[in-house]
Each structure stands twice: as C-alpha cells, then as structure tokens.
Chain A
C-alpha cells in the first residue's frame, strides 16, 4: 500500500467488494481503464482493492450493475483531511486561535530580570520610561544596544549595563559605579595651546584634533576641539606635544671653591630635648681652621613608645678649602646643563630637551655670561571650558 504524493493529494480508498460472482466488478473496472492497486483475494466472491477517489463513481456503478456489495475499509489523502476539518470547525478554530494567541502574547514583555544591584527599583523606574516593564509591548522597545546606551544615560550611577533580549524576557545586568571613584568630567571643553610652539604629536582621546604635526601654534589656539562635526560638545581630552623654545641667561663664575676633607675628625654626642642639647660625650675641640659638621639623630625608644629625647652624634671633619678654576669648555657645558635644568623645571619635568644653542657667550672678570636657546618637547595643551554663550572667545585669542 504505497502512498505516493499524487495519491495523497487526490485521495485514495480501499474497498472490499462482496458477493461479486466471477469478478464482474473487477472486469468492468479494468475494461474502463481504471487504475487499481493491491487487488487481494479475501474469500470466494470477496476481494479488496485500492483505487483513487476520482474513480469511486465508476466503482459504484459497476457494483450496482453486478448487483454486488461494497464496503469502504479505509480512506486517506488530502480530500479526507479537508472534509474532516470542515466537520470540526471548533477544532480548526481552536488551532487558529492558538496560533493567533501565541503571536499576540509573544508581542508582550513577560519577564524583566535585573541583576547586579541592591536597588532594582531605581533601574525599574528608568526602564519604565523606556517602555520596558512586564506587560509592556515588545515592539515599543528599541533594540538592546540602544537600550543599553539609554540606560547608561539615564542612570549615571552605573558604570556598565548589559541588556539581553531573549524572546519575551529581558535580562539586564548592571555594574554600579564604585562610590567615591573619580568621575570622568563631562563638561564640554577644548584643549588649547598654552605656549607658542610647533605641534609634534597630537593624540586625541576624546574630541577632534584640529591641528597637525608641524603646525605653529600661538597660546589660545584650539588643538583638540570639543565641538564635534554634528555640533555636539564633548569633554575633549588627549595629549598634544609640541616643540617649544626657551631663552635663558646664565652667569657662572670661573672659580669655584670646594671643601676637601683631610680625614681628621672628632665626635661629639648630645642628648636633645626639643631644642635644648646636652653634651654627653666627646668634649675635645680640635683647632681646625675649616671644618665640616655632619650629625646623625637617633630618636630614643622605650619599647613601642618614642621618647621626646633624641641622641645626636655629631662628627666634625677637618676641611681644606680648594679653589678650582674651570676651563671655558667645562664652564660652557655646565652653563648648558643649568639652562636645561631650569627650563625643565619650568615645564614641570614632563619635557625633553631636544637641542640647545648658545646665542651669546662672554668671559669677563672671571665670569661667564651666556644666553642659551633651548628646544624642548613638552605638553603644550591646556584645558579650556567651552562657554555656550560666547563661542567666539577662543577664536579671538587665536587671532
């Protein structure tokens, strides 16, 4: 009883033909060219056969003519399914209602889960504004990335929000900002030049770099703009290094006096109470013409308690003053070093000396007068708040 697809669509029946003497019905059907399948002998004058639903009329006619009887045993195929479906309207209605209900109900949010906070009410309130609550319509909710950003915007106390939409459930995981942690400033600002110089490196973390390496800038020139192309203002941040020049005048005397120690020394011990010193050991006063004193203080301790007494060991060394006359080249090198140290102190130690030029040098009366030109690579940016009322201020400085 092979059911082929075509047979399924047209529908087939299996019948038992009874009281058919000498197979009249079978012969009649064969004579008419009706395709028959699985013709099986059951008993004398009885046999079963399968035929297409389209040929049932011919079967019935043949049965009547032969005055035989027919019993329908089985029927299968699409026409019967439809016929049955028509008879069971409520069942079909139920099935349709189920599909419809499933579709409708899956349009709602059923479940919102908030994780990672002890105050879910706060997040719930924010979510309510974004149409996210159990019973809300799912199609009104924006996609999960946008929801994530919207939540972060709405709740500045959160440092991270993860949103996962899974069917009709929305899972939200938040990480609260640690209390007392430094909050990144968000006030709109530009980074402008504080000193004149040539831009060397621009690293914009936030905002838009408006200068290029090699560009000469004057104080007040905007280096990293906090105003974005779309007109939004942000807190510009980043590093702008530039080459800056410093001119320093250095005066150095050629002769310097250095104390050399002879190795002769005496020790004195004192017990100090505040400013009052009591000499307790070593009372010799050697006749040194030049001396250098070195003292070491040891606070007295009684177990864990620090007493207000200090033991001072004072060593007096014999010194021999020695005058050194530096050569001009050594003096010049020292002058350059002084100039570099001075310049680096001005840029708070974050600079790097690239090049030094001696503009002027004069050795007079044992003194060296020098003018040094120092080229330094340093941070040239400074924050400048963007005032929305007067956006022209920055430009005026630039001009």
Chain B
C-alpha cells in the first residue's frame, strides 16, 4: 500500500517536473543497441532462458526478447546484458 502510494507520488512528480522517466529508481529500462545487445536495468528475475527466447520479469509485467544465439554477457543485480541477434522485444 505504502509502496504504491510512493510510486504514484514519484510518477506524479515526474510528470509535473518533466523528468525523464528512466531516472526514477524503480522503473525498468530496456535499452537496445542495434540488434546485437540488449541492456535491461531494474529487472526482477529471469523467467526462461533459451537461445531463441529470453523472458525477464520486471516490476510490472515481463519482457520477452526473441532472436538467435542469445546469451547473457553480464548478470549483476539491477542490470542484465544480453548479446546475440535480436529480432523482437515484446512487453506483456
């Protein structure tokens, strides 16, 4: 309850002050570098990991990255780096 209130306030402040949304701490961020690399910040967990499909749980919903020869370059808390040939990024 408290968390939701805080999130709401943060979002409101961000709207009001026109702060870019990615500067907010708990907002997941998915960055594509060409179709070769995907950087995911503020992920929650890895749901599945295959060379053709990687599913990552975010705070709200999940992201599915499709492609070929996908692999994790780096996995550290708060950040993932995926490398391979990316064909699509879908949010569910």
In the complex, the answer to whether B49 meets A47 with C-beta atoms within 8 Å is yes
Cα(A22)–Cα(B71), bound, Å: 16
Is the CB of A40 closer than 8 A to any CB of chain B?
yes
Q: State the interface size on chain A (CB cutoff 8 A).
A: 17
Cα(A199)–Cα(B37), bound, Å: 98
In the complex, the answer to whether B48 meets A39 with C-beta atoms within 8 Å is no
In the complex, the answer to whether B49 meets A37 with C-beta atoms within 8 Å is no
In the complex, the answer to whether B75 meets A27 with C-beta atoms within 8 Å is no
Shortest beta-carbon distance from B57 to chain A in Å: 10
Is the CB of B20 closer than 8 A to any CB of chain A?
no
Contact of B45 among A27, A36, A49 (CB under 8 A): A27
Is the CB of B77 closer than 8 A to any CB of chain A?
yes
- B15-57 vs A, CB cutoff 8 Å, 1 = contact: the mask equals 0000000000000000000000000000001101111000000
Cα(A39)–Cα(B74), bound, Å: 7
Smallest CB gap from A33: residue in B = B77
Smallest CB gap from B77: residue in A = A33
In the complex, the answer to whether B72 meets A27 with C-beta atoms within 8 Å is no
Cα(A35)–Cα(B45), bound, Å: 13
Is the CB of A41 closer than 8 A to any CB of chain B?
yes
- B-side contacts of A264, CB under 8 Å: none
Work out how many contacts link A and B, with CB atoms closer than 8 A.
Answer: 42
In the complex, the answer to whether B74 meets A35 with C-beta atoms within 8 Å is yes
In the complex, the answer to whether B45 meets A31 with C-beta atoms within 8 Å is yes
Is the CB of A292 closer than 8 A to any CB of chain B?
no
In the complex, the answer to whether B74 meets A37 with C-beta atoms within 8 Å is yes
In the complex, the answer to whether A30 meets B71 with C-beta atoms within 8 Å is no
- A12-52 vs B, CB cutoff 8 Å, 1 = contact: the mask equals 00000000001100110111010111111100000101000
In the complex, the answer to whether A26 meets B49 with C-beta atoms within 8 Å is yes
- A-side contacts of B72, CB under 8 Å: 36, 38-40, 49
Shortest beta-carbon distance from B47 to chain A in Å: 9
Interface bin, chain B: 10 to 19
Cα(A49)–Cα(B70), bound, Å: 14
CB neighbors of A among B66-88 (8 A): 70-77
Cα(A29)–Cα(B75), bound, Å: 10
Most buried by B among A22, A35, A41, A49: A41
Shortest beta-carbon distance from B15 to chain A in Å: 32
Shortest beta-carbon distance from B69 to chain A in Å: 9
- B-side contacts of A31, CB under 8 Å: 45
In the complex, the answer to whether A36 meets B49 with C-beta atoms within 8 Å is no
- B-side contacts of A27, CB under 8 Å: 45-46
In the complex, the answer to whether A39 meets B49 with C-beta atoms within 8 Å is yes
Cα(A41)–Cα(B49), bound, Å: 8
In the complex, the answer to whether A35 meets B49 with C-beta atoms within 8 Å is no
In the complex, the answer to whether A23 meets B75 with C-beta atoms within 8 Å is no
- A-side contacts of B75, CB under 8 Å: 29-30, 35-37, 39
In the complex, the answer to whether B76 meets A41 with C-beta atoms within 8 Å is no
Smallest CB gap from A48: residue in B = B71
Cα(A30)–Cα(B48), bound, Å: 13
Residues of B participating in the A interface, judged by any CB pair closer than 8 Å = 45-46, 48-51, 70-77
A-B contact pairs, 26 of them (CB 8 A): A22-B48, A23-B46, A27-B46, A30-B46, A30-B75, A31-B45, A35-B74, A35-B76, A35-B77, A36-B72, A36-B74, A36-B75, A36-B76, A37-B73, A37-B74, A37-B75, A38-B71, A38-B72, A38-B73, A39-B71, A39-B72, A39-B75, A40-B71, A40-B72, A41-B50, A47-B49
* Given A35-B74, A35-B76, A40-B71, 10 more pairs with CB closer than 8 A: A23-B49, A30-B45, A30-B75, A37-B74, A38-B71, A39-B49, A39-B72, A41-B50, A41-B51, A41-B71
